[in-house]
């Protein structure tokens, strides 16, 4: 396989990963909003929710995913074209980001809990894990 076709495959996988991450991120935010509202009462507005996502400890574990999506966007829109190695590195970062665990970091535990309580999130996680499983 030539490096051009390897790059094309990797870039397509990265674009697919980005879209899947956006869907997963939204589902996780919605799920966490529901959990937050059960514990603290109704969030009254989109602006209040946005502030909570940015500042509240409850949503802190989702910030690395938000930042990673921005990192992908910046790499894809940079003046210098992406290299195969840069693309592979971003895919590897996505693999490391999506590690649910009952005994891991707070983020890994919260991600695992979201997968356990919401079948849609479990499905999205499986889709992403499958997308990221194979080597380029």
- Please write the tens of the pLDDT for every residue from 86-136: 999 999 999 999 999 999 999 999 999 999 999 999 999 999 999 999 776
CA–CA distance, 111 with 107 (Å, rounded to integer) = 6
pTM for the structure as a whole: 0.91
CA dist., res. 55 & res. 52, Å (int) = 5
The answer to whether the beta carbons of residues 49 and 58 sit under 8 Å apart is no
Q: What average pLDDT does range 5-10 have in this prediction? A: 90
Both tokens of residue 20? Answer: 């899947």
Q: Provide the pLDDT for residue 1.
A: 47
For the chain, what is the mean pLDDT?
94
Range of the domain at 39: 3-133
Q: How many domains does the chain have?
A: 1
Buried b (16+ CB within 10 A) or exposed e, 1-19: eeeeeebeebbebbeebbe
């Amino acid at each position: 396989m030539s490096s051009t076709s390897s790059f094309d495959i990797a870039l397509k996988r990265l674009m697919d990963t980005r879209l899947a991450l956006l869907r997963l991120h939204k589902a996780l935010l919605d799920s966490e909003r529901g959990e937050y509202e059960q514990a603290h009462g109704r969030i009254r507005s989109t602006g209040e929710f946005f502030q909570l996502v940015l500042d509240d400890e409850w949503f802190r574990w989702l910030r690395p995913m938000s930042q990673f999506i921005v990192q992908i966007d910046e790499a894809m829109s940079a003046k210098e074209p992406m290299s195969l190695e840069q693309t592979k590195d971003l895919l590897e970062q996505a693999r490391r980001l999506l590690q649910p665990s009952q005994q891991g970091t707070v983020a890994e535990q919260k991600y695992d809990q979201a997968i356990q309580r919401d079948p849609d999130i479990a499905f999205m996680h499986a889709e992403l894990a499958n997308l990221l499983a194979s080597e380029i």
